[in-house]
Each structure stands twice: as C-alpha cells, then as structure tokens.
Structure 1
Amino acid sequence: MPAPSAPPGERTWSIAEVAEEFGVTHRTVRHYEELGLLTPQRRGTTRVYHRRDRTRLALVLRGRRLGFPLEEIRTIIDLYDAPRGRRSQLEYVLAQIDDRRADLEQRRRDLEAALAELDGFERRCREDLARLG
C-alpha cells in the first residue's frame, strides 16, 4: 500500500523522531515498515512519517504490550481501513481480547500453582534445616 500524501503544511516526523518518541529503535521502526504495518512516504532515501504512521505505530506497540502477535495486530489495523471500518475491527478485536484474556488467566493459574509448590518446598527445606540444627 503506498504511503498517503499529506495535506500541505501537515506536520511530519523523521525516523529518529518517531523512534525516540515511542522509545523504540530505528531498526524496530524499519522492521514494522518491512512488514507493511507502517507506510512512510519516501523523499529520496529519507523516510517521512505522517500522523497516520504514528497512530499505527502506537497501535502496534500497544498490541505488542498486550501480547498480540504481529499478524493479529496487522489484521486489526487493516480492518480499520476495511469497508465496514470500525465495527468489523471492534468485533474482531473483542474476539482477540477474549482469547488473550483466557491465555493470560491460564498463565496466572499456572504461576500461582508453581508459586504454591515453591512455597511448600521452601517450607519443607527450612523445617529440615531447622532439624539439622
């Protein structure tokens, strides 16, 4: 998908500015571009980022923080541009949230079980150590 042209006078950002603002490396920004998640304009060899790119990068990073794989993030972002627009995106996102929540809740149960097992093991070790004097 070609990068959209900005209206005259619209603020643009360099890769350095975008990377610094979002706390990521230039390499990360270029990687998201290679995957088609960002589509900066090119002026020669210079990448020019517009508001749309910054919004998409924010969505990608939020999705990553929530544990979504990049392909799911791409689908969610691309749905925003689909004919049904926000409704299809929101329906899809809600289904993904349900799946992600179930996964995280299972992980929490697994962690709680592992911690309980560690607590019991630690207690037995301390008791054995106390008996040994």
Structure 2
Amino acid sequence: MTSPSTTAAPGAVDPASPTWTIAEVAEEFGVTHRTVRHYEDLGLISPERRGTTRVYHRRDRTRLGLILRGKRLGFPLEEIRTIIDLYDAPRGRRSQLEYVLAQIDERREDLEQRRRDLEAALSELTEFERRCRSDLERMA
C-alpha cells in the first residue's frame, strides 16, 4: 500500500485514505496490468490520476473485486456494469441485490441447461463408444 497523499483536489477522495498502485492492485487480484487498464477503459473502475500514475482507492478495489467475481460467475461485462452502478443508485444496495438475484436466477438456469446438454452429449458418446467396441469385437 502506498502512502496517502496530504492534499486533495476539490471533490477528491479523502487524502488520508489508503491508496494502491496498479501493480499492487493487479497482484492482489491475480490479474495483469492490462486487465486493470481494460476495466478502466470500459469505465468500470476510475482510479485517480496523478500525472501518468494511476492511484487506486478502496472503491476501485471493491469494484474490481466485484467485476472479477462477476466474470468468474459468467456474467457479461455489461451486466456487471449494471450491477455495480446500481450500488450508486438512489435505492442503492437494495436495488442492487434485487437485480443481482434476478441475474443469478437467469445465470443458474443457463448453467443448468448447459449441464443437461453436457449430460446428454456424454450419454450419446458413451452409447456410440459401446456400439463401436461391440462392432470391433465382432470383427475379431
């Protein structure tokens, strides 16, 4: 963690709050600098700029953690953006949670359908293998 700055621009984050560099954030979350910059380019995170240096605050780290969790769960980035942005909405956490629950239901249904499709494909493959082995035995 880097040392907090002692001065802040109007409207900036509390200068006494801890900050992190892109290297520290990338290492903490196990991603590349390029990945962190990509999420910044998409507007999903918005670190403070001090010259050419990116300065990450607690909010950026929280958002990055949510982005990566959403990606692990298979949510597209636009859905992740909506979920994260809802936190800042007037109804805040409640609207975010209601939306996330609806998205979880959709994601779960999609994954369960994929599982059914995989099970059907595996079953078909097993049956095909059985027939091939049987044909091979008859040839011997």
TM-score normalised by L of structure 1: 0.94
Taking the aligned partners of 2:75 and 2:100, their CA distance within structure 1 comes to: 10
Taking the aligned partners of 1:68 and 1:77, their CA distance within structure 2 comes to: 12
- Output one character per residue of 1:84-127: Cα deviation in whole Å (capped at 9) or x when no partner: 01111111111111111111111010000000000000111111
Taking the aligned partners of 2:70 and 2:27, their CA distance within structure 1 comes to: 19
Match of 2:71 among 40, 64, 76: 64
Taking the aligned partners of 1:10 and 1:89, their CA distance within structure 2 comes to: 26
Q: State the number of aligned residues.
A: 130
Q: Which runs of 5 or more structure 1 residues have no equivalent in the other structure?
A: none
- Output one character per residue of 1:5-56: Cα deviation in whole Å (capped at 9) or x when no partner: 3323322111111111111111110110011110100000000001110110
Match of 2:127 among 106, 120, 130: 120
Match of 1:81 among 78, 88, 91: 88
Greater relative contact order (CA < 8 Å, ≥ 6 in sequence):
1
Q: Secondary structure at the match of 1:12?
A: coil
Q: Secondary structure at the match of 1:102?
A: helix
Taking the aligned partners of 1:22 and 1:75, their CA distance within structure 2 comes to: 21
Q: Which runs of 5 or more structure 2 residues have no equivalent in the other structure?
A: 1-10
Q: Which residue number corresponds to residue 36 of structure 1?
A: 43
Paired residue type of 2:128: F
Regions of 4+ moved over 4 Å: none
Q: Which residue number corresponds to residue 58 of structure 2?
A: 51
| Root-mean-square deviation over aligned CA pairs | 1.1
Paired residue type of 2:98: E
Taking the aligned partners of 1:131 and 1:124, their CA distance within structure 2 comes to: 11
- Equivalent pairs: percent with the same residue? 82
Taking the aligned partners of 1:44 and 1:65, their CA distance within structure 2 comes to: 33
